[in-house]
Amino acid sequence: MDFNISKDDLNDFFGGPAFLAWARMGNLHGWGGPLTQSWLDQQLALQKWILSRVLELGMTPVLPSFSGNIPAALKKISPSANITKLGNWNFVDAKCCWSCTYLLDPSDPLFVEIGEGFIRRQVKEYGDVTDIYNCDTFNENSPPTNDPTYISLLGTSVYKAMSKGDKDAVWLMQGWLFSSDSAYWEPPQMKALLHSVPFGKMTVLDLYADVKPIWKNSSHFYGTPYVWCMLHNFGGNIEMYGILDAISSGPIDAPWIEQNPVVYKLMSEMAFRSEKKVQLLEWLKSYSHRRYGKAIHRVEAAWEILYHTIYNCTDVIEDHNTDFIVKFPDWDPSNTSSPLPQAHLWYSTQKVINALRLLIDAGNNFARSVTYSYDLVDLTRQVLSKLANQVYMDAVTAFRQKDLKALNLHSKKFIQLIKDIDILLASDDNFLLGTWLKSANKLAKNPHELKLYEWNARTQVTMWFDNTGTIQSKLHDYANKFWNGLLEGYYLPRASTYFDYLLRSLREKENFKMEEWRKEWISFSNKWQASQELYPVSAEGDALAISKASYEKYFGKKNWKKNKYHFKTSGKQVLRFTQ
């Protein structure tokens, strides 16, 4: 507002509560907003509360600084300013006006003015609480030129704006830009940015060091101080995955999130360890003892299997969550030249099924353990979701072979798996859609905010972009979740409609009507995002009993002939089952 930006201009700039992270990174603007005054007041009070507690604990907080991401209105207010309209964010359809953001060039004098003013306003509001400021330039957007001289000037301007506001400022920067656009950030460009500030005045977060460590290929960021980080999960997806070996050694070699607690437990411990590499089998025994309260041989054996399978992903593929229930393939199966979609799989599914059997068999020892219940539900879900992937593959194969009977059989089995997994997830408080929606709705002060916050919460975990045409957002299912309520309320109707289209195509001897399917999917998604029906917020059912029943239904030997399915594995290939 000091630079004549009105409140209406800011309403068009800030994203909604569920999309603020991407708005702050300069990837999109306005989507899910506008933010209400009560939201802003709540956030200001929360920020001051957090800062107070951080300081009480003797920690140094990190506050943001100006990165050049600006409201579009500044173009009109300062027509002579060097402002670039960035291209559509690389995940979004070109028609999405909200994905076109504006960047004030760091070489423009206005950049330093706004940057200095931003720091001074923060100091006035919060006090002199830090000298460390985060700033991420060109996050998944490339600079207009790869000229090292330009990049060096860019970095110098960013730091100048910080240091004019705080003479002792240190720039903390995520290294994600180096990972996401390695073709652009070659050694000359990296050096130009990293060496554009005095030594010791920049620290880089090697954000994806657990999979693609930048420090190894950049001579330790060319002398710039850095922090080894674990990214692990891109969309908060509920997929069991990790690289325990890398986590147990990476932070030494280099000078409770809502999923995969074992990964975050190990990562948290590494800050306090000095040995070259943790003996992971012994550590996992200790971990299971502490997590469940007692030592049981079957549990130790189960975790040893999980260590060598699920938590040993070394193929450097970023998208681990490709389960077809929650990330439904958007393709035309009538196009026989198009290969079948493949879900990412890096381990022997039969071995993980064996681990599940061991964990189930130990269940009577952990009647009151909430951590055992969580792990049991999560592992059962993992096993069933991989089975569903193969059921989907068999269904579309039957479609291509024009086998109506087989298609009908496999589609019904896929739908049944969704229903069974939904019942399983209902048995643990940690896997409920209702909890997520309630946490958003609790912040509302009036009916307008209630509708806005629920829409944000629903949209983030489903379609993202509201498009009534035939090309939906490429971000659909980005933040998908295996949550009770979301499976039967959202994923099941979507899958049912899809298989109805497949079956109708075979009966009427026509190609799959891709455009009609997409329109119906998008229309349904828009209606679901705007709805406000209630979902359970407390668990229901016995997790152990449900897990046992699921195991016997799909993997128990006595049911193989009854269900006319048998199971095979081939090394680390996909679990196959055929009629």
Residue pLDDT, tens place only, 402-442: 999 999 999 999 999 999 999 999 999 999 999 999 999 99
- At 577 the pLDDT is 34
Tens digits of per-residue pLDDT, 535-555? Answer: 999 999 999 999 999 999 999
Mean pLDDT of the 96-104 span = 71
Q: Is the pLDDT of residue 283 over 50?
A: yes
Q: Is the pLDDT of residue 574 over 60?
A: no
- At 375 the pLDDT is 95
- At 566 the pLDDT is 36
- At 87 the pLDDT is 63
- At 508 the pLDDT is 95
CATH of 328-333+384-578, one of 1.20.120.670, 1.20.1440.230, 1.10.10.10, 3.40.50.10330: 1.20.120.670
Beta strands in 146-287 (DSSP E): 170-174, 202-206, 226-228
Mean pLDDT of the 299-327 span = 86
Mean pLDDT of the 55-63 span = 96
Tens digits of per-residue pLDDT, 459-499? Answer: 999 988 765 555 556 778 889 999 999 999 999 999 999 99
Q: Is the pLDDT of residue 94 over 50?
A: no
As a whole number, the mean pLDDT across the chain is: 86
For the chain, percent of residues with pLDDT exceeding 70: 87
Check: CB of residue 520 under 8 Å from CB of residue 497: yes
- At 259 the pLDDT is 75
Nearest to 448 by CA among 47, 37, 42, 45: 37
Query: 207 in helix, strand or coil?
Result: coil
CA dihedral 44, 47, 49, 55 (to 10 degrees): -140
Tens digits of per-residue pLDDT, 131-159? Answer: 999 998 877 777 778 899 988 988 999 99
Q: Who's near 377: CB < 8 A, 6+ residues apart?
A: 424, 425, 427, 428, 430, 431, 543, 547
Tell me which CATH code domain 59-231 carries. 3.20.20.80
- At 572 the pLDDT is 34
- At 267 the pLDDT is 76
Query: 527 in helix, strand or coil?
Result: helix
- At 255 the pLDDT is 47
Domain ranges of the chain: 59-231, 328-333+384-578
Q: Is the pLDDT of residue 54 over 90?
A: yes
